[in-house]
Structure 1
Amino acid sequence: MSATITTQLGEALPPGQKHAITFHLPKWTNVLRMVNKDRSIIAQLKSFYPRMMPGHVDVKALSVEVLKFLQVPEGNTTFIFTSLVSAAECIDFAVKGPRVDDENLPAIAEGPETQPMPREELSLRVLEVEKTGQRLYAVIFSMAKMPRLMHFWANAGTGITTRVAEESLPHVDSLREIPIDSPAREIPESPAHLEIKERIATLLERSPVGGERSVKVTKDDIYLYQTGMTAIYKTHKYILSTHTPPQKSALFGFAFYATLRVFSDFGPGYKLYPFGTADDLTSLTQFLESEKEAGRHVQAIWAEFPTNPSLTVPSLPRLREIANTYNALLIIDDTVGSFANIDLLGSNGVDILVTSLTKSFSGYADVMGGSAVLNPLGSRYQELKTLYTANYTLDYSPLDASVLASNSRDYLVRSHTLNTNTQSLVSYFQTHAQSPSSPIKTVQHPTTNPEFKANYDLVKRPTTEEFAAGYGYLFSIVFKNVDMLRVFYDNLNMHMGPHLGAHRTIVITYVKALYGKDLGWAGGRGLSEASMRIAPGLEDVDALIGDFENALKAVTDQDGKTEGDVEKALEGGLVSL
């Protein structure tokens, strides 16, 4: 059993660095407060996932200084970007607003998010920190409109990073405003950027399925972004630009919430196949055929491999075959499977691979990053290379790249531990679930579903002396009812919050936390309110099992106590049937 966790509500995982991207959310009552958007709990957060909100102390302080310098009237606020393109896209989104009528997403209630926002209610001001040369693009708007613009900050992920804000703050005395049409200052590719790209290229060609390839990924096929969501958002935007009018996409299998929002809010929409099963493959094919017959073209098929949080695994060969038949790009997010374990490239692989480098590639929960990789053996490689060359600008700060490069040097070593810890815990819970008295209904992981395991094994990297590939670092458990989940959560000696792939184990009641107001919608797409997502860390696995065992015992004790109380009441004639 592990030592008792002393991390307080709202604090980051130890060691609690200034740029930590986690926060601890113990106790079920606090989950409910988050679901209900209780502002008092937001105020208690001392650490933030930076893409979720611009709440980091340095980002907030720099925003105050920018507003003060520009003499912006009270009642207004700002989102700061480091690229003119991203700032302009934020304004375009604010005017257009989030899509409110998408069947693939819970409905957005009438309120600040849905109210029209005329262009004249927003302004864009450009500043330069003379002592560092850093450009700041400030989108200024009424604080009352924050909920509307927050969609862009949280889902596109292109806002200023915490390290850039930290570097800029000591030099705000050198701020000067410059014309909006001033020539942009490009970020030069630093040694850290190069190290990251070369590491990714090496990992992608390490132990490929089918043997060594004739054409290999190089650093020039890899594009770095501020976050994993930025990689998805930018790739989606690039592809939208290739068709007039823009065409729909398809998403096979469920995906992370922000991914759904990006596909909904930018472009003409998408078709969701949430279960990722063989039946969904049939439905996907029927949809593509109907679009073709109507003279339309589906621009891309997207998928996660495996999906978050249900851990379904699509058939890569079938998706590739379908994409070829209908001339659609195939784009997969491999964050949960990760570079170390799965090979999705080659002549029969994806066209584009997108990854959140924030997760296991970084591994220490203190920096964000994302990547998009073009498959050099893909049939549309040259077309995509031209597209990225025309649209891509490096906006990933050398400050963040330096930390990510350093963190990722032990990626394979950590991946071994993450894989083995996860598999040990999956086996533990799977064994537990087989008992009729267990509170656990199912365990969601590629190895617990024969169809999904077969799909995964097709792309699992062969074992080498250096590394034995595994099945990733994430799984979910589903309880027989929500009350059992509540007791388990309240008695679990574990860090709790929205992250995965870190040095410490993190759990979250993912469905309850993200879809707590839309549980019927989520349930109709295969997501259970009684589920917990578990992202094992690097701790001793026996200690982790001891912690989970204690929480499970609390559930069975509570369940037994309840049954006993009912029996006593019946014996005493206190309950009528």
Structure 2
Amino acid sequence: MAAVPSNDTVGQTIPQDTPHAVSVSLPTWEANVAYEEGEKWVVDKMQCGYPRFFIHPSITRLAEGIVAKHGSPETEKAMLFPTSRVANRCVEFLTQQNSKVQPSSFRILDLGSQSGGTSSPNEKIIVPKVTAVLYPSDLWPTAKVFWQHTGEGISSRRAEFCQKAFDEQVLVEQTKTATKQHSKGPRRYQRPMSTDVSAMANANGTTKADETTVNGSGVQDSATFVEERFGRNLNVAFATQAKLAIRRRIAGSLIADSDLPDSLEEPADKSREYPEFSENDVYIYSCGMNAIYNAHRILRLANGDKKSIMYGFPYVDTLKILQKFGPGADFFGHANADDLDDLQRKLESGERYLSLFCEFPGNPLLRSPDLKRIRALADKYDFAVVVDETIGNFLNVHVLPYADIVVSSLTKVFSGDSNVMGGSLIVNPRSRYYKALKQTQEIEFEDNHFEEDSVYLERNSRDFAARIKRINHTAEVIADVLAAHPCVKKVFYPKHSDTKEYYDHCRLPGGGYGGLLSATFHTMEDAQVFYDHLDTQKGPSLGTNFTLTSPFVILAHYGELEWAAQYGCEASLVRFSIGLEDTETLRSRFEAALAVAQSKKDRS
């Protein structure tokens, strides 16, 4: 019999004792509802949360310190960003959303180290740098919306790094200490990085240090990297190599049928389908949603402002980005043939769009869009296609032939360890918009992925290929267990979906159906009892190396349950991200929780 549900772990990091964890324990259905309703017995215990929804304590501490020193704590708050360009976008959003507020109500402070550090002049170092937007406290809800939707805020590791310099009073306002720097070339081609580095970066944020290796492995272990920290500076060499390894790992996985290339070696097989595709077409962002936000932003800059299309029931923030930044979006939430027919009729009648965003497959319903038909419409009516393949992941599916831009959350299964954020954006070299998008990126792209985060992300992703195979296998087993049980109303999984043919069309040789699945139950009580008694970690996020369970619709759409239900997202839906546990052990845990739900049902 499964254990009696307990609230003992409410608010603890997942994994436990992980300072930069991206998930938090909400172990019972009751705890999830209480979190959504803001009940103190849950909210006050939260040590962390998903970073775009919950601002990490280290970031809050630094922001409050900056306001105390440079602002008015009684009337102002601060949002922290990696660069002033990002901060300006935040201010623009705040003023657009609050037309009665005067621009003078906002201040942007660029804070950096007053010296270049204590290392020798020839050593490439990273010194603390952060930009604060000081704004009226009553605009907090709007500022939080920008933070959540765009993913533009700083990471908790950057906050910790900058906090030390701030405490030592060497993180100071740069406008008071900086001297004018003369740069070669037009201003629009000056690409600032998120930290002060003594080497110029190219458009992907890498330097000449990328061409070397450390100890022959390409990237030094993160433990050694941390030991190399001195004072308030970090050595940049390891981080630039880590970023190159990440980009080559992504590029290699898209053009090879087998395991990932090792370390910094060039991908071995470029002949399969896209020989011209390389790591130079891969851009790393602070998180997956930041990659989506910037995909939308650069398309608007490159191709002009027109409405976009959200095709398929999306992860919540993608739709919000399309609606709130730019002219808006048309939403086709069912992702079926009827929706494509409706879209085609609009196009035939003269409606024109900037882009179509979709997920492959969708989250949490795991439906796969008909990318072949979407591509044909895009080619005929001149709009870009942006595919988020986070759930399928690029070792299972190959969506590049149908997309102009491919985005992914590297926070998820690419990392697996639930302790670092990251995102990628890939520009298809065969896209009709390739030249315009690359030129736009030359001007707009900033390497804002904090260097220490990059080192952790590279380390975590080294066994990406092996983990995917194991997760694929176990997820299929669990999907079959759920589908066979009378308490379960419906299982959502690409293999069991009515859109399986579209998924299979893009599935790689040897690729599986991924590690994410969902299930709805005949009654809310069945769902709650099952959830409470299931012996897995329970919290937001997905793609972790351990199985993670969440009442997804309750967490993501608590204030719009009726709206979500229109598209098949019922309140009883439970989402499962399958991890690396032994398959039979995990099967027994699911069967035990299902047995408890059935037993309670039989007694009622």
Whether the TM-score (by the shorter chain) exceeds 0.5 is yes
Q: TM-score range by the shorter chain?
A: 0.7 to 0.9
Does residue 12 (structure 1) correspond to residue 62 (structure 2)? The answer is no
**Cα contact 1:156–1:233 (8 A) shared by 2:** yes
Cα distance in 1 for partners of 2:411, 2:375 equals: 27
**Residue by residue, what CA displacement relative to the aligned partner does 1:525-564 show, whole Å, maximum 9, x if unpaired?**
22111111111111112222222222212211111111xx
How far 1:86 sits from its partner (Å)? Answer: 1.2
CA contact 1:215–1:376 (8 Å) conserved in 2: no
Contact 2:31–2:42 (CA under 8 A) maintained in structure 1: yes
How many Å separate the matches in 2 of 1:462 and 1:302? 26
Aligned ranges 1:300-339 → 2 under 5 Å: 300-339=355-394
Query: What code does the residue aligned with 2:62 have?
Result: L
Change (3 A) 1:218 1:251: same
2:297 is the alignment partner of 1:237: yes
**Distance in 2 between residues matched to 1:379 and 1:482, nearest whole Å:** 48
In structure 2, the residue matched to 1:443 is 491
Any conservation in 1 of the 2:192–2:446 contact (CA below 8 Å)? no
Tell me whether 1:534 sits opposite 2:584 in the alignment: no
Partner of 2:246: 196
Tell me the CA shift for residue 5 of structure 1. Answer: 9.6
Q: Which residue identity does 2:488 align to in structure 1?
A: I
Cα distance between partner residues in 2 of 1:74 and 1:431:
58
Indicate the residue corresponding to 2:122 in structure 1.
none
Counterpart of 1:268 in structure 2: which amino acid? P
CA gap of 1:498–1:124, structure 2 versus 1, over 3 A, is same
Paired residue secondary structure (2:499): helix
Aligned partner of 1:466 in structure 2 is: none
Structure 1 residue 223 and structure 2 residue 283: aligned?
A: yes
Secondary structure of residue in 2 paired with 1:176: strand
CA distance in 1, matches of 2:36, 2:100: 26
**Residue 59 of structure 2: aligned partner:** 59
Report the CA distance between 1:39 and its aligned residue: 4.7
CA gap 1:446/1:196 in 2 versus in 1, 3 angstroms: same
Instruction: Measure how far apart 1:164 and its partner are.
Output: 0.8
Q: CA RMSD in A?
A: 2.3
1:547 match = 589
Distance 1:277 1:164 in 2: 43
Structure 1 distance, partners of 2:492, 2:301, is 37
Pick closer, same or farther for the CA change 1:365–1:4 going to 2, 3 Å: farther
- State the distance in 2 between where 1:291 and 1:251 align: 18
Partner of 2:49: 48
Structure 2 CA distance for partners of 1:115 and 1:25, relative to 1, 3 Å: farther
Q: Is the 8 A contact 2:256 2:270 kept in 1?
A: no
- For residues 506 and 558 of structure 2, the distance between their equivalents in structure 1, rounded to whole angstroms, comes to 35
Pairwise mapping of residues 424-443 of structure 1 onto structure 2 (< 5 A)? 424-432=477-485, 438-443=486-491
SS at match of 1:242: helix
Q: What corresponds to 2:174 in structure 1?
A: 178
Q: Aligned equivalents of 2:548 and 2:133: distance in 1? A: 34
Superposition map of 1:83-482 within 5 A: 83-97=83-97, 116-130=100-114, 131=117, 133-172=127-166, 173-179=169-175, 185-187=192-194, 188=201, 189=206, 190-207=240-257, 212-213=272-273, 215-244=275-304, 246-292=305-351, 297-346=352-401, 349-432=402-485, 438-449=486-497, 451-463=498-510, 469-482=511-524
Q: What amino acid sits opposite 2:383 in the alignment?
A: A
**Aligned-pair CA distance for 1:324:** 0.6
* Cα distance in 2 between the residues matched to 1:87 and 1:40: 34
Amino acid at match of 2:426: V
Q: How far, CA to CA, are the matches of 2:192 and 2:271 in structure 1?
A: 43
Deviation of the 1:339 alpha carbon: 1.1
SS of 1:247 mapped into structure 2 = coil
**What is the TM-score normalised by the length of structure 1?**
0.87
One-letter amino acid of the structure 2 residue matched with residue 458 of structure 1: H
Q: Supply the AA of the counterpart residue of 1:233.
A: Y
For 1:569, the equivalent position in structure 2 comes to: none
Deviations 1:26-74 (A, max 9, x none): 12221111221335522211122212132x2221221122122214342
Q: Distance in 2 between matches of 1:3 and 1:416?
A: 30
Structure 2 Cα separation of the partners of residues 291 and 150 of structure 1: 37
Matched, 1:513 2:555: yes
Distance 2:546 2:587 in 1: 14
Contact 2:412 2:544 in 1 (8 A): yes
Secondary structure, counterpart of 1:458 in structure 2 = helix
Could you say if the C-alpha distance between residues 268 and 143 of structure 1 is closer, same or farther in structure 2, counting changes exceeding 3 Å? Answer: same
Alpha-carbon distance in 1 for matches of 2:273, 2:532: 50
Q: Would you say the 8 A contact 2:408–2:425 is kept in 1?
A: yes
What displacement does 1:518 show? 1.5
Q: Secondary structure at the match of 1:258?
A: helix
Partner of 1:100: none
CA distance in 2, matches of 1:226, 1:5: 36
2-structure distance, mates of 1:185, 1:69: 26
SS in 2 for 1:179: helix
More deviation, 88-97/126-135: 126-135
- Post-superposition offset of 1:285: 1.0
Q: Within 2, Cα distance between the matches of 1:548 and 1:73? A: 50
- CA separation of 1:3/1:90 partners in 2, compared to 1, >3 Å: closer, same or farther? same
Matched to 2:280, the amino acid is: D
Deviations 1:211-254 (A, max 9, x none): 8125332111011100000000011011122355x100111111
Q: What residue in structure 2 maps to residue 523 of structure 1?
A: 565
Deviation at 1:387?
2.3
1:446/1:414 Cα in 2 relative to 1: closer, same or farther (>3 Å)? same
Asked whether the equivalents of residues 107 and 135 of structure 2 are also in contact (C-alpha less than 8 Å), the reply is yes
CA shift at 1:517, angstroms? 2.2
Deviations 1:264-322 (A, max 9, x none): 11011111111111111111112222344xxxx30111110000011010111111101
- Match of 2:302, SS state, is coil
Alpha-carbon distance between aligned partners in 2 of 1:214 and 1:123, rounded to the nearest angstrom: 47
State the aligned residue count: 527
Distance in 1, Cα, partners of 2:532 & 2:489: 19
Unaligned runs of 5+ in 1: 98-113, 433-437, 464-468, 563-577
| Match of residue 68 from structure 2 | 68
| CA distance in 2 between partners of 1:306 and 1:62 (Å) | 38
1:28 paired with 2:29, answer yes
Q: 1:338 Cα shift?
A: 0.2
CA distance in 1, matches of 2:274, 2:256: 14
TM-score normalised by structure 2 residue count: 0.83
The one of 560, 565, 568 equivalent to 2:602 is 560
